[in-house]
């Protein structure tokens, strides 16, 4: 049961908050102006995406450890692929998995966002990457699903060339060197 005294006090509080609200807004504006003048602007609270990305960041030591781990797995799969040179389907599987591990290892050095930005910074690099990804899928599809050696071997060869061209795009003049070497050796 509410008495009339409690109702009056509740009404007085509401009236007080209504009176103080414009004063509070004015103080917040003054505080914002002072902070802007002094260069001590308060940062807005982090968004959910910001909190998620902050929680997923790795220390430099962890990034190097993950890079080395994925690189070792990639090299292991490439080494294992050499034992299956006479079985092209098995060779294609191991070579492709090794290639994927090595490519993912580079994400740990520069970060996925920077890696994707650098993929499309250079036209030759972007084309090599797109051809590389298409041949990875083509190699796995022809080796695992179709079992066609006649499609698997050319896909692996194009995948190797695309990987070399992609890797060379990060080294100054390496693509020119590869092109001139291929032009001298092959009837282009």
Coil, strand or helix at 170: coil
pLDDT number for residue 15 = 57
CA atoms within 13 A on the CB side of 20: 6
pLDDT number for residue 72 = 94
pLDDT number for residue 56 = 61
| Cα(34)–Cα(102) distance, integer angstroms | 52
Q: What is the 3-state secondary structure (H, E, C) of 137-155?
A: HHHHHHHHHHCCHHHHHHH
pLDDT number for residue 75 = 92
- Distances from the Cα of 118 to the Cαs of 71, 96, 123, 124, in angstroms? 20, 22, 10, 11
Flag whether pLDDT at 9 surpasses 60.
no
Average pLDDT of the chain is 78
Flag whether pLDDT at 55 surpasses 60.
no
For the chain, percent helix, then strand, then coil, each to nearest 5? 80, 0, 20
Q: How confident is the model at residue 74 (pLDDT cuts 50, 70, 90)?
A: very high
Q: Token pair 């797109």 is at which residue? A: 130
Flag whether pLDDT at 149 surpasses 60.
yes
The top-scoring range by mean pLDDT among 13-22, 73-82, 163-172 is 73-82
Mean pLDDT, range 56-66, rounded to an integer:
80
Flag whether pLDDT at 32 surpasses 80.
no
Q: How confident is the model at residue 41 (pLDDT cuts 50, 70, 90)?
A: low
């Amino acid at each position: 049961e509410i008495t009339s005294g409690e109702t009056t006090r509740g009404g007085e509080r509401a009236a007080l908050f209504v009176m103080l609200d414009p004063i509070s807004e004015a103080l917040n504006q003054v505080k914002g102006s002072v902070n802007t003048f002094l260069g001590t602007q308060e940062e807005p609270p982090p968004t959910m995406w910001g909190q998620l990305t902050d929680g997923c960041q790795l220390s430099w030591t962890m990034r190097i450890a993950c890079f080395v781990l994925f690189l070792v797995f990639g090299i292991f799969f490439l080494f294992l692929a050499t034992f299956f040179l006479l079985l092209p389907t098995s060779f294609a599987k191991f070579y492709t998995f090794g290639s994927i591990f090595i490519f993912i290892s580079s994400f740990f050095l520069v970060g996925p966002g920077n890696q994707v930005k650098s993929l499309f910074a250079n036209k030759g690099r972007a084309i090599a990457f797109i051809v590389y990804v298409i041949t990875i899928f083509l190699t796995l599809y022809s080796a695992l699903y179709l079992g066609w050696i006649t499609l698997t071997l050319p896909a692996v060869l194009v995948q190797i060339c695309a990987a070399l061209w992609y890797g060379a795009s990060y080294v100054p003049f390496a693509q020119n060197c590869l092109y001139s070497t291929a032009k001298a050796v092959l009837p282009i």
